[in-house]
Amino acid sequence: MARHQLSHLDSANRPVMVDVGTKEITLREALAEARVRLPRSLGAALRKSGHRTRKGPVFDTAIIAGVMAAKRTHELIPFCHPLGLEHCSIEIKQRTGGEILVRCRVAVHHRTGVEMEALTGASVAALTIYDMCKALSHDIEIAGIRLLEKSGGKQSYKRAPRPTRVGA
């Protein structure tokens, strides 16, 4: 079995920011998702209202929050490098049964990847949906925050699609 070393520890096992100074500048892209599970009745009410609550347009607000969070990831995650993102988009789709799928795609030409920015953008967009709907129900669940794909660094990654469930 190959031994994996954590990149954020120095030789004395102290936390350290990874030195990316010698890495090649390439186009780095990442796609992440989060799932917001609403009670069926809340999902139906949200769809009927055009995705608006008393706080305002839920999806539009979540998109803005997700982009803002992705741009500020380095302020939230201690060892993330500050990046001037060249692209960040949030896509939100309400599926049948009350589930909302949030996806964040991020890109930059840099020496380090943007996985954390994509994950942060998707997470904060999902949290914003929760915040804007919590007055209607606290029985909302955020789940499945995960990286779907990344490219442009030493290794590319693409997650295999989830198996289709019967009756889903």
Confidence of residue 22 (pLDDT cuts 50, 70, 90): confident
Q: Provide mean pLDDT across the span 91-108.
A: 94
Render pLDDT for 31-46 as a digit per residue (tens, 0 to 9). Answer: 999 999 999 999 999 9
Residue 166: per-residue pLDDT:
55
Q: What is the mean pLDDT of residues 13-20?
A: 73
Q: Report the alpha-carbon distance of residue 124 to residue 135 in Å, rounded.
A: 18
pLDDT for position 126: 98
- What mean pLDDT is reported for the chain? 89
Residue whose C-alpha is closest to residue 140's, from 34, 61, 66: 34
> Has residue 1 got a pLDDT over 80?
no
Mean pLDDT of the 131-158 span? 94
Q: Are 64 and 57 in contact (CB under 8 A)?
A: no
Judged against a pLDDT cut of 70, whether residue 165 lies above it is answered with no
- Reading the block at residue 68, the tokens are 């803002």
The model carries a pTM of 0.87
Instruction: Catalogue the active-site residues.
Output: 131
Is residue 30's pLDDT more than 50?
A: yes
Domains of the chain (ranges, CATH numbers): 26-152 (3.30.70.640)
pLDDT of 167 above 80: no
**Alpha carbon distance 61, 52 (integer Å):** 10
Reported as a single tens digit per residue, the pLDDT across 101-125 is: 999 999 999 999 899 999 999 999 9
